[in-house]
């Protein structure tokens, strides 16, 4: 899942106050034991699956304590609407504000963290 932040970045974002939305379809959440936790929706309501280290997807219906929201670049940019964001062909990287990264969500996260993270 290249379009979302890493677990470490998701933890930093949460610690710095990035909004943690209610569970909703299409979201990805992370925690230490599993690679990805994806939220979907079916006729019974919200459905949550996690991807284990061996790649298998397993559906869970338990309380999801300890999860951190893994936002996309779009999720992050919505929180900083005046920050420029582009792809640099020269550097083959996404540039957000003064930060660049090969993944768009990580570039956006670096710019958000620069504003909100306490040094």
Read off the pLDDT of each residue in 80-101 and give the average, rounded to a whole number: 94
- What's the whole-number average pLDDT of the chain? 84
Q: Hey, where are the domains in the chain?
A: 7-116
pLDDT higher than threshold 70 for residue 56: no
Better-scored residue on pLDDT, 65 or 108: 108
Of the listed ranges 1-5, 21-25, 60-64, 82-86, the least confidently predicted one is 60-64
C-alpha closest to that of 1 among 76, 103, 93: 103
pLDDT computed for residue 51 by the predictor:
65
Q: Which residues contact 12 (CB under 8 A, 6 or more apart)?
A: 109, 113, 117
pLDDT computed for residue 96 by the predictor:
95
The predicted model scores a pTM of 0.81
Residue 10 pLDDT class (50, 70, 90 cuts): very high
């Amino acid at each position: 899942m290249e379009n979302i932040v890493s677990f470490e970045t998701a933890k930093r974002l949460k610690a710095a106050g990035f909004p943690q939305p209610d569970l909703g379809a299409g979201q990805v959440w992370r925690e230490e034991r599993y690679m990805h936790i994806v939220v979907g929706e079916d006729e019974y309501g919200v459905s949550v699956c996690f991807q284990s280290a061996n790649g298998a997807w397993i559906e869970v219906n338990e309380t999801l304590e300890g999860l951190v929201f893994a936002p996309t670049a779009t999720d992050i940019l919505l929180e900083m609407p005046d920050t420029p964001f582009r792809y640099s062909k020269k550097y083959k990287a996404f540039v957000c504000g003064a930060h660049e990264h090969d993944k768009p969500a990580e570039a956006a996260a670096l710019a958000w963290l620069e504003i909100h993270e306490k040094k």
